[in-house]
Structure 1
Amino acid sequence: VRMAKLEILVAIAVAVFLETVSLGVVTTEGGMVQGENLRLGFRRHMDRFRGIPFADIPVRFQKPQSHPGWEGILKTTEYRKRCLQLNPLQTDTMGSEDCLYLNIWVPHGSSVSTNLPVMVWIYGGGFLVGGSMGANFWDNYLYDGQEIADRGDVIVVTLGYRVGPMGFLSTGDSDMPGNYGLWDQQAAIAWVHRNIRAFGGNPDNITIFGESAGGASVSFQTLTPHNKGIIKRAISQSGVALCPWAVNKNPRKYAEEVALKVNCPTDSRMASCLKMTDPVILTMATTVKLFGSPDHPIVNNLALAATVDGDFLPDEPQNLFHNAAEIDYIAGANDMDGHLFTSLDVPSVNSQLLDTDPEDVKRLLASYTKEKGSAGVAEAYSTYTSYWGNKPSRETIKKTVVAIGTDYIFLVPTQTALYLHAAAATTGRTYSYLFSEPNRMGGLLTPYPSWMGADHTDDLQYVFGKPFSTPLGYWPSHRDISGYMIAYWTNFAKTGDPNSGDLKVPVAWPKFNNNTHQFLELNHNTDINSVRQQQRLRYVHFWTSVLQSLPSLISE
């Protein structure tokens, strides 16, 4: 009898141990969906839904429409195609116009989760490329929400939005106003707000986060009046709406260039001709020159971007921060964010052998300040070379090129956005960071210089927990910084304060305001000494004040 009792107890224990905690079939506004359940450990499960449609197949150059729905149970166990875009070598296209889908990761403990905070990810890619639908290269899926969801106990959502001409080509008028990709993102965020409760999420606690063009998109989504009351918090990594590449001031000029390439007229018939042009031909007509020069920097080639259309963006972004007054906001940049771009404009930056000519520094500054003419270049050059001394080292000159690119393309616009957010905020809190974990490739046997800091996109692997999911590629110190970022990001998503939540952080991150200008430097050594203030204030002052006060040349 005792033996039988023991067997029964063991059987019950095994059943409890193996018991699957899952949402099962979930009912959404379009119909029922069924994902898959992943067993992560003792009393740790996760439901993963891949490829849930949040809108109908988009009509070209129109806002997304709601999905008509489906009969029966939709199996959401595979990623859908990314949105139509150029392949990495720009020799062909990949993806599909049918791409408005999202993926959801829902973590569970010993019981099915309810009322969890929700984090919605918006990918980057210069508004030209990108996707959150499966492996980026080999079998490594960068935007896998599993580690953030599991470690931070939050729901993670990733979405697809139209990129390239399908998402951002605009004639600058009501025929083709543009911003279709931003409307796609907004439709996905609104879908999450309406449906996430059925997945165990709290619709009143949605944090959007993104990097590069995704960080700028996050910024746009907080500034548009169309998201009032839907977004609670936001995180912009290496990109805000004020970046020089984020808004195209003259979209018609670019649309006419594309029209000529695809044999369309550039008069009143242009929009209707573009709408009838094969989308693959249209996408191939928007290739970007990937080799710049100091006189023609690559950042100026990113012509597909948001437009001030009078609808999604009723005004210039800097005039819309009142719409974000109640949104908690984190924004920051990487300390060498500009390296990816300036090393293509000034290739000697990466060379161990070649010196970088100070003349290249001047030429690059001339490109970035061209509307101010020679006075702008002179002022910029003296600002960036003031600490050089008589004989600057080779490394000093190279680092200056990277700093100029970082400031102009990312860091100064991000600081400006933080100041504007803090000034307009009512209940919204503001936090500033600088990410400085050195690039893993820096050193003698790689194309990267030994003095490399954090390049553009270097932060992504840590936010998405790659040092935990693919440990062989990383050192323990990389797991430290990854843990810190997941802790700050998910605590913030829960409470609006990166320091308070379920995860321990290495140091309290103070709020940013227009008096103290405090920020946190994030790397594997983050501690009490990482809280700093007045991030590159001299250079922020130069770009936002000194340069602006100079008279502009009359532009065409």
Structure 2
Amino acid sequence: MITAVNDFLDDLRGGRMAEAPVVTVEQGQLQGRVVNSPTGKAFYSFQGIPYAKPPLGSLRFKSPQPPEPWDGIRDATAEGNVSAQIDFLKKEYIGDENCLFLNVYTPNLDGEFLPVMVFIHGGGFVFGSGNSSLYGGDYLVEKDVVVVTLNYRCGVLGFLSMNTPEIPGNAGLKDQVQALRWIKENIHNFGGNSGNITIFGESAGGVAVSLLTASPLTKGLISKAIIQSGSALSKWSMQKTPIENARNLAKILGCESDDPEEVLDFLNATSARELVEAHEKLTPMDLFPEVTNAFGVVVEKEFPGVEAIITEPFIDLLTSGRIAETPIMIGSTSLEFAFERRSDDLQAFIPEELNIERNSEQALEIAEQIKNLYFKGSHTGVESLPEYFELLSDNTINVDTHRHVQYLINVSKKPIYYYKFDYVGELNISKKILNTFGLTRAMHMDELGYLFRNDLQKDVEPTTLDIKMRERMLRLWTNFAKGGNPTPDENHYLTVTWLPVTKDNLYYLNLGQELSLGTNPDKEKMDFWDSLYSKYYRIWDHPRSNNDEVVLKSSEPKIIESYSETVTVYSESSAFTESHTYVSETTEIVKENNEIVSETHEFITENNGEPVETNEVVAEVSENHEAVVENNEAAVENNETVVESNGTVEENNEPIVENKEGVVKNVEVVEKNEIDHPKVEEKIEEPVKIEESHPTPVTAVLNGDRKVQPRPSNEIKMVSRSNGAPKDVIRANDPPEDDLPKNIGVNKFVNFFESLGGKK
């Protein structure tokens, strides 16, 4: 077998490859071409291969569908469209919605033994492509691996989320999963081993790789992962309010409606170019990394039968060990970013997830600590820019990479290889596309110039040391892809053994002019950030999913003529006002054009403070740990927990609920625009105790005589984690579309009282 392989490689070197190679995949036949690498070695190239159905028309914003077969031999000698986007360098619109294509580069079409390396491009999930203008696989293929690059939907086209089963979000990431499924099924036709697939990516591509290692959708699809200058822990990669972002985008385009369904219809009717240009206005690329991308990754809502990339925060997946079976190589450059300073306030660098109030005593103290740690003197002025860039790079990439490694150490069953790229040469890409301010440091994307062939460096003459560094990088990356060990043996190029990190030693490989193995890179600075997270970060203070409302279509006829209702709730309880600022709350519900405006009801669970969304007419109250108010703040004692049900609001404004603590004195109903029409009536039933295992549905009353029993499948259940902490409230067998009439007013009342005792 080895002799046959060597003979075949000799044939390649002799140029005896077929001039028009044809391979057969599941969808049909592909004709590629033979090309020569910069060193003169020939390999096979297949480009513009569709891995999914074009995401056009009704498929816009939705998860990718498997590709359709074709007749005859499809030409695969030219690259496919890139995603619709604003070109980063030229600042002009390019690309197309029909962009789900991949490229395969291979030295061998016979056999099924070569490792496969799948690269995912960066670009902040807004721009970029896997095309050979930047990511030519020429050098990697020379190391006997099959290289795959791919395009995926970027920006709003790839990451719009309406929190619905139809458009839950992360379509661009699901494009990548669909590509991996296609590769798994077909790569053996290109000489690749479908059982040995390594994914690697840089910047947003690194974020994507980190997410794919955690997603249940990639189970059985990937063997190893390389994460370069990006982690899903980074705030710039995520969007927390997707529906608000969609509304804001629509407003830029001229849509005045706030109704999510109308916003979606408007965006579907808008051209791809207009969407992309409006996205650029909403979050300009030149503000990265200061501004979080409006259309990035979301933590998806769970819907039965709907595939999701992740349905809980990445940090939960990372710390729980669900990435434990994947060998990982992870690292960053010594200096990632050099952006112009827009503010001298160092409080801007305090991670927002620490929930430290700006200008508070703690925030000012931390800002002073940051100044003392990063700056030798003043933190303003031109002379402090190099120090500022270090702080910016740590805040954007390096701290999250460090945290990613630290979390992995505690749970991983596979090796973790940590690196720092610190080499400056002629092939550093930052010299061509970034403002380096004259700094001689390795910056964002610089390592890519030593892994890929690209058009930016056509006229660059690499030095002898540059060529040596490229050889080192290629060997480290492909050795890891082949067997999971980047330095299986020492040689002229790989002069040290790269040790994986352990709980006792944070080993890392420094990729400078020479290779060296060290421990704890930037120890003083990373220790400082570790101490901040240890002191202030509380995982239970963060929502388990994105903060926007679930939008579900109702098949019930929309009723109720135009009227508006104001409900004012007052509290006179001194016990409750001492510890809460919620003295009064006024909410106004406006119904127009014979429609019921659907409401979002967020129940706050008491133990972890996280919002749990529901549109049901069932309120679950546990006597032990979900009482409205507790201990000294209790306004209702023992069995006097108040649960509001749909019923009749007394027109004479008599007190609705009274108890000896006087939490609720009355509910005042102010009728506007009164006319003769059926009214939605509300009343307060007797206190109801609902058992967790068998929740009791509450009767909804519409028009005074029509009663609807909520379906058992919409019951709410409380699930406990293994450590005893409550998990999300979930619905059992919740159907993708909710055809129940919307509950009017009840949840606002309950939500208010739960907020009194729910947060400490």
TM-score for both structures, normalised by structure 1: 0.83
Matched, 1:267 2:259: yes
Aligned amino acid, residue 94 of structure 1: I
Aligned partner of 2:139 in structure 1 is 147
User: Percent of counterpart pairs with the same letter?
Assistant: 29
Question: Residues 282 and 449 of structure 1: is their aligned pair in 2 closer, same or farther, counting only changes over 3 Å?
Answer: closer
SS of corresponding position for 1:148: helix
Report what 2:51 is aligned to.
54
Query: What is the match of residue 118 of structure 2?
Result: 120
Answer yes or no: is 1:31 the counterpart of 2:16: no
Alignment length, in residue pairs?
Answer: 510
Report the more deviating stretch, 374-383 or 163-172: 374-383
Match among 432, 435, 438 for residue 421 of structure 2 = 435
Of 518, 529, 532, 1:543 maps to: 529
Partner of 1:305: 296
Cα gap change, 1:327 to 1:273, in 2 (>3 Å): same
Deviation digits for residues 274-318 of structure 1 (CA, Å, limit 9, x no counterpart):
2222222111110133555xxxx7432422210000421121001
| Candidates 276, 280, 283, aligned match of 2:269 | 276
Change (3 A) 1:478 1:96: same
Cα distance in structure 2, aligned partners of 1:486 and 1:90: 30
Q: Which amino acid aligns with 2:118?
A: V
Q: Does structure 2 retain, via aligned residues, the 8 Å contact 1:228–1:323? A: no
Equivalent of residue 362 in structure 1, options 324, 328, 346: 346
Aligned equivalent of 1:78 = 78
SS in 2 for 1:360: coil
Q: Contact 1:17/1:42 (CA < 8 Å) preserved in 2?
A: no
> Contact between 1:334 and 1:454, CA under 8 Å: does it hold in 2?
yes
RMSD value over aligned CA atoms? 3.4
Aligned to 2:341: 345
Q: What are structure 2's unaligned runs of at least 5 residues?
A: 1-9, 303-307, 548-760
Match of 2:172 among 181, 185, 198: 181
Q: Does 1:318 align with 2:315?
A: yes
- Show the counterpart of 1:286: 279
Counterpart Cα distance in 2 of 1:41 and 1:32: 28
**Aligned equivalents of 2:107, 2:184: Cα separation in 1:** 18
| Matched letter for residue 251 of structure 2 | L
Quick check: 88-97 or 115-124, which moved more? 88-97
Distance in 2 (alpha carbons) for counterparts of 1:463 and 1:16 = 21
Distance of 1:402 and 1:16 partners within structure 2: 46
State which of 180, 184, 189 in structure 2 corresponds to 1:198: 189
- Judged with a 3 Å threshold, the aligned counterparts in structure 2 of structure 1 residues 389 and 119 are, in CA distance, closer, same or farther, namely closer
State the match for 2:327 in structure 1. Answer: 328
Q: Out of 506, 513, 519, which is 1:533 matched to?
A: 519
C-alpha contact 2:62 2:166 (8 A) present in aligned 1: no
Cα separation, partners in 2 of 1:29 and 1:389, compared to 1, 3 Å: closer
Return the letter of the residue paired with 1:338: F
Q: Is the 8 A contact 1:223 1:323 kept in 2?
A: yes
Contact 1:259-1:266 within 8 A present in 2 as well: no
The aligned counterpart of 2:713 is none
Q: Is the 8 A contact 1:222 1:324 kept in 2?
A: yes
Which of 368, 390, 397 is residue 384 of structure 2 equivalent to? 397
Q: Is the 8 A contact 2:418 2:508 kept in 1?
A: yes
Larger CA deviation: 411-420 vs 28-37: 411-420
Q: Which residue of 2 aligns with 1:490?
A: 478
Q: Which residue does 2:105 correspond to in 1?
A: 105
Secondary structure, aligned partner of 2:200: strand
Q: 1:377 to 1:27 in 2, by over 3 A?
A: farther
Q: Deviations over 1:338-361 (max 9, x none)?
A: 32xxx2334xxxxxxxxxxxx826
- Corresponding residue to 2:154 among 163, 179, 183: 163
Partner Cα separation in structure 2 for residue 104 and residue 305 of structure 1 = 27
- Return the letter of the residue paired with 2:514: T
Do the aligned residues in 1 keep the contact of 2:238 with 2:293 (CA within 8 Å)?
Answer: no
**2:738 matched residue in structure 1:** none
Report the alpha carbon displacement of residue 51 of structure 1 after superposing the two structures with TM: 0.8
Deviates more, 1:202-211 or 1:42-51: 42-51
Q: Which has the higher contact order (CA 8 A, sep 6+)?
A: 1
Structure 1 stretch displaced more, 174-183 or 488-497:
174-183
Q: Counterparts of 1:41 and 1:402 in 2: how far apart (Å)?
A: 35
Aligned to 1:477: 465
Distance (Å, rounded) in 2 between the aligned partners of 1:115 and 1:396: 55
Structure 1 pair 122/538, CA: closer, same or farther in 2 (3 Å)?
same
How many Å separate the matches in 2 of 1:39 and 1:298? Answer: 38
Aligned positions of 1:214-253 closer than 5 A: 214-253=205-244
**Secondary structure of the corresponding residue to residue 178 of structure 2:** helix
Q: Greater CA deviation, 264-273 or 75-84?
A: 264-273
Q: 1:279 to 1:197 in 2, by over 3 A?
A: same
Cα 1:276–1:42, aligned 2, differ >3 Å: closer, same or farther? closer
For the residues of structure 2 that align with 1:250 and 1:331, how far apart are their CA atoms? 29
Contact kept, 8 Å, 1:22 with 1:112, in 2: the verdict is no
1:494-528 C-alpha deviation (Å, 9 max, x unpaired): 000001279852321110122201111112x223x
Q: Is 2:494 the partner of 1:509?
A: no
Shift of 1:326: 1.2
TM-score by length of 2: 0.62
Contact 1:370–1:376 under 8 Å retained in 2: no
Structure 1 letter corresponding to 2:73? I
Secondary structure at the counterpart of residue 484 of structure 1: helix
The residue aligned with 1:69 is: 69
DSSP 3-state at the match of 1:74: strand
> In the aligned structure 1, how far is the partner of 2:374 from the partner of 2:199?
40
The aligned amino acid for 1:35 is G
- 1:451 Cα deviation from its structure 2 partner: 3.8
Distance 1:345 1:301, change over 3 A: farther
| Aligned-partner residue type, residue 532 of structure 1 | G
* Stretch deviating more after TM superposition (276-285 or 82-91): 82-91
- For residue 397 of structure 2, the aligned residue among 379, 392, 410 is 410
SS at 2:328 equivalent: strand
Structure 1 alignment gaps of length 5 or more: 1-12, 135-140, 347-358
CA distance, structure 1, for counterparts of residue 18 and residue 98 of structure 2:
33
1:377-392 equivalence runs, <5 A: 377-386=364-373, 388=375
